[in-house]
Amino acid sequence: MLRKILLILLSVFLLEIHAQENIEEIPRYEISMLTIGPGNSLSDAFGHSGIRVIDRVNNYDIVFNYGVYDYNAPNFYGNFVKGRPIYSLGKNRFENFYRSYVNSSRQIIEQKLNLSEYKKRVLVNKLITNSKEENKDYKYNYFENNCSTKIGDIFNVLLEEEIRNEGINLDNINSNSYRKLVYQHVVPNSWGALGIDICLGSVIDKNITDQDELFLPYNLKLYFDKLGNSNIRNGDLVETSILFGEYIEYEETSFSPLYVLLILSLIIIIITFLDYLKITRNVALDIIILLITGLIGLLLVYLWFFSNHIASAWNYNLLWAFPFNLILLFQLLKKKQSRWVLSYLKINVLMLLLMCLHWIIGIQVFNICLISLILALIVRYLYLIKYFSNRIR
């Protein structure tokens, strides 16, 4: 009799354990990666990423969004110029998040992640912890720490075993550079690309790793598409679907900078030719050239040496936008010129030729729109050398 009672109790105990295991495996969360297509402004040209979490127990559907920033925050613009902008992890109701991008006609792609219930809980707990007031802020960097890389870092830790089992090596260096990837979203003949190419240095022309490529939301989406999960029977980690719209590349509607700079360059060359015929010098033209190139040079020096914009280092645009041109500007306003003016102009020509050499051998890729301007500057500086050679003794 006692033996039967013990068997019954043992059976009940085992049934309770089995029932508890089944309760643990009842799906509570549904996790998705959201990828937003490009928008109509330069800041939206590269897309956006977010993590969607559906909690069936607490009945909520929210998006964790690492792209939140507050223009009204203390010293936001100052920090942005210094290269230390503060972004935050925010939470949005999915309905509001979805509607905002639908209203902007931007594509929305959802990738449902086939994770175990345990890993879903780990992920949700981490996101909730990171979104707390004391943890939500981070220092934004457009290549190394943005809405896409933050998500990639989280999942690389969460799926470390699966990534290793699939033989994926994110440290592999490929033939891409940051600049090449930027050109995939912003065409070189655009004002956005021109500004990027002038302000960012040769450091973004180095070959990068597969991990580095994840700074682009669409590359993160492609990474999840091909990533296998060894714990899932069919080997797939994601189920991809398009919630809204088509992928539309960012396009500028303004005048092409290539044509604008070509026209300005022709004006410089024509005025220089007229100066040559009349044996004179157009002072206004020299003031404009030296003022603009000097001010751009000061900006580049600040970005390289005095800000936290790492990508602005080793910027050889300084070879044509030389800050000391401002000193030459004030000197040329005087009636009598010093002998150092000739030496300075010769150095300017040499620097422009050195810039072309840097471009040819691949040290830094310069924007194609600058070709005509560089040629025009060489012509102008050579004429000034000839002009002052006959007047400075």
Element (H, E) at 34: strand 29-36
Residues 222 and 331 in one domain: no
We report the CATH number of the domain holding residue 120 as 3.90.1720
Q: State how many domains the chain has.
A: 2
pLDDT confidence bin for 159, thresholds 50/70/90: confident
Residues 263 and 225 in one domain: no
pLDDT, average across residues 189-208: 95
Domain-located, residue 380: yes
> Cα(152)–Cα(156) distance, rounded to whole angstroms?
6
Residues 342 and 226 in one domain: no
Contact 69, 77 (CB under 8 A): no
Residues 221 and 273 in one domain: no
How high is the pLDDT of residue 24? 47
How high is the pLDDT of residue 22? 45
The pLDDT mean for the chain works out to 88
How high is the pLDDT of residue 246? 78
Please state the separation of Cα 304 from the chain's center in Å: 17
The domain boundary, picked from 219, 244, 269, lies at 244
pTM of the entire structure?
0.85
In a 3-state reduction of DSSP, which class is residue 76? helix
pLDDT, average across residues 122-150: 94
Residue 324 is part of which domain span? Answer: 257-389
pLDDT, average across residues 251-255: 70
Residues 295 and 367 in one domain: yes
> Cα(209)–Cα(212) distance, rounded to whole angstroms?
5
Domain-located, residue 187: no
Residues 266 and 138 in one domain: no
Query: The tokens 């800050």 sit on which residue?
Result: 323
Of the candidate ranges 150-164, 305-319, 329-343, the one whose mean pLDDT is the lowest: 150-164
14-29 pLDDT, tens digit each: 555 444 444 445 679 9
Of the candidate ranges 127-136, 224-233, 295-304, 323-332, the one whose mean pLDDT is the lowest: 224-233
Could you write out the DSSP letters of every residue in 209-251? Answer: ETTGGGGSHHHHHHHHHH-B-TTSTTSB-EEEEEEE-------
How high is the pLDDT of residue 161? 76
Domain-located, residue 385: yes
Contact 68, 89 (CB under 8 A): yes
Residues 49 and 136 in one domain: yes
Residues 229 and 328 in one domain: no
How high is the pLDDT of residue 243? 86
Query: The tokens 């040769």 sit on which residue?
Result: 202
Domain-located, residue 156: yes
How high is the pLDDT of residue 133? 93
